Amino acid sequence: MYRRAAAVLMSLCLALPPVSAVSAASWEGETVGVYEAENGTFHGNVHVEKKGSVAGFQQDGDQCDVTVSIAEAGFYDLEFMIKSQGGYKENYVSVDGQRMGTISANSTKFQRDTIRRVYLEEGEHTVSVSKYWGYINWDKVTVFTSEPFDESIFQVSAKLVNENATDNAKRLMSYLCDQYGKTILSGQYCDSGLNGWENLKISENNGGKFPAILGLDMGYYSQTGVDHDIPIKTTEQAITCWEKGGIVTICWHWLAPEKYITGTWYSAFRPEEVKMNLTAIMNGKDEEGLALLRKDIDNIAQQLLIMQEAGVPILWRPLHEASGGWFWWGAEGPETYIKLYQYLYHTLTEEYGLNNLIWVWNGQSPDWYPGDDYVDIVGVDIYAGEHVYTSQIDAFLTTHASAPTNKMVVLSENGTMIDPELSQRDRAMWGYFCTWSGEFVMQDGIRKKYSEQYTEIEMLKKVYGSDIVITRDELPDLKTYPIREDAQ
């Protein structure tokens, strides 16, 4: 529905907090080596400052490469000593030219941030820090042996937070839990439903395979979209997908009420396009504002009720990517966001009796977690860059740690697809992935021509042809799938 600019989308993978904030404190790996950034190779404006740290990460292309030596192949943690030059900053980390994630700093004093479970063969490797937000000092990187992977991560309950969940919702969650840790379900966002998938010609390039999950958006069901008479068939598309044996996930690019829009109405999910005091609304100081938001929720609820009546369970992902700050529902901090999330949950489940929803939380930061009573699945959106097929294991572990109890971890949006063999090797066994549309699959907006800008055709074929990846033809009959005992 919304074609995102690449510069904005690239930032979606970078909204996670410093990994050190959620790392297991009890693990002390063996120190393999300590490598000073000042002894590295510099690109662009990078240089050594007087006190020995490296700075100058300010322009695209600014990068520092450090060579590390590994005596035995295995998994290693890379601990970076960095500081910000002012405010929160994030920058890219690559190993041998493959992006592994980001490191973050929010203090002008040196602090540690870690990229975990990087697989390194015996020999020398190049560890690089390159500019994303820039404006950091990098002192050194220390290489440790990684903690053994805890397979109990994949032992998740099929019990949904809504005790009145429909049988079909329980069946879907039971199936997802049965597969978790063994396979990864494929998914694709497409605003025109199954027909759009065919028009994208993706199936032509991957051996005729279709994704198990169809991603849709409720954005134009917001009252602002209704007032502009925008045609939308998300409800019909969801029902068709379910009837044809597929799974549906839905997000909501919530267009702000007309009263608060100061820019373009069709971009009114972005804070720079609206002027709204959400904190005042959620604290009861703007009753009219709450009524306007409630009107939007009512509109959405009516559509979800139609899907429920048709028996469709929904992987429901509202208020996504909140911590990034690029949507109005996250622009005023975690406390206000959590109030809105919980309000939405109570309204849809308790007032409207929407029991077909499996609640997928995608706040991109543990500080924004609304609580175990409101979340069935935790997800993260990652746009890692062109032809970056790494497993993103560090983001997997960070997202897992967002919830106090084991929750299934999913890749709720992705730009580039992930190599399933690397996911299996690293144990980043995402419950599912769901590739965004637009430039990530279409060439120059031409629906009938596949774009290799992000995922090359050979990797597309590999992903959809993998025994690790579930496609639509491999799904069981989810209308009769056995409900697990722990889901009752």
287 is catalytic: no
Instruction: Annotate 310-335 with DSSP letters as a single string.
Output: TT--EEEE-STTGGGS-SGGGTT-HH
CB 234 within 8 A of CB 250: yes
Distance CA 129, CA 234 (A): 42
Mapping DSSP to helix (H, G, I), strand (E, B) and coil, where does residue 115 land?
strand
Q: Which two tokens stand for residue 363?
A: 């706040």
Residue limits of CATH 2.60.120.260 in the chain: 28-145
Give residue 394's Cα distance to chain centre: 13
Mapping DSSP to helix (H, G, I), strand (E, B) and coil, where does residue 307 land?
helix
Distances (CA, A) of 201 to 2, 128, 196, 211, 449: 19, 37, 9, 13, 7
**In 61-208, at which residue ranges do the beta strands (DSSP E only) sit?**
63-70, 74-84, 89-95, 98-105, 111-120, 123-130, 136-145, 184-185, 187-189
Residue limits of CATH 3.20.20.80 in the chain: 151-487
CB-based burial, 444-483: b 16+ in 10 Å, e otherwise: eeebeebbebbbbeebbebbbebeebbbbeebeebeebeb
Say which CATH class 28-145 falls into: mainly beta
Q: How confident is the prediction along the chain (488 residues), in pLDDT tens digits per residue?
A: 333 333 333 333 333 333 333 334 456 789 999 999 999 999 999 999 988 899 999 999 999 999 999 999 999 999 999 999 999 899 999 999 999 989 999 999 999 999 999 999 999 999 999 999 999 999 999 999 999 999 999 999 999 999 999 999 999 999 999 999 999 999 999 887 776 665 556 777 777 888 999 999 999 999 999 999 988 999 999 999 999 999 999 999 999 999 999 999 999 999 999 999 999 999 999 999 999 999 999 999 999 999 999 999 999 999 999 998 899 999 999 999 999 999 999 999 999 999 999 999 999 889 999 999 999 999 999 999 899 999 999 999 999 999 999 999 999 999 999 999 999 999 999 999 999 988 898 877 566 688 899 999 999 999 999 999 999 999 999 999 999 999 98
Q: Which two tokens stand for residue 417?
A: 């697809």
413 is catalytic: yes
Backbone angles phi, psi at 51, to 5 degrees: -85, 5
By the 10 Å C-beta count (0-12 exposed, 13-18 middle, 19+ buried), 72 is classed as exposed
Model's pTM, two decimal places?
0.91
Q: How many CB atoms lie within 10 A of CB 340?
A: 22
- pLDDT score of 22: 35
Distance CA 400, CA 323 (A): 16
Distance CA 354, CA 91 (A): 41
Q: Which two tokens stand for residue 368?
A: 């924004």
Using only C-alpha atoms, the chain has a radius of gyration, in whole angstroms, of 22
Among residues 315, 361, 366, 325, the alpha carbon closest in space to that of 342 is found at 361
- Out of 79, 273, 321, 332, which one is annotated catalytic? 321
- pLDDT score of 311: 98
CB 220 within 8 A of CB 480: no
- pLDDT score of 166: 98
The architecture of the domain spanning 151-487 is Alpha-Beta Barrel (3.20)
Q: Which two tokens stand for residue 215?
A: 């991603």
- pLDDT score of 198: 54
CB 252 within 8 A of CB 319: yes
H or E stretch covering 465: helix 457-465
Q: Which residues contact 421 (CB under 8 A, 6 or more apart)?
A: 466, 468
In 32-106, alpha helices (H): none
- pLDDT score of 19: 33
- Out of 90, 273, 413, 456, which one is annotated catalytic? 413
> What number of residues does the chain have?
488
The CA angle 453-253-233, to the nearest 5 degrees, is 90
Distance CA 359, CA 220 (A): 21
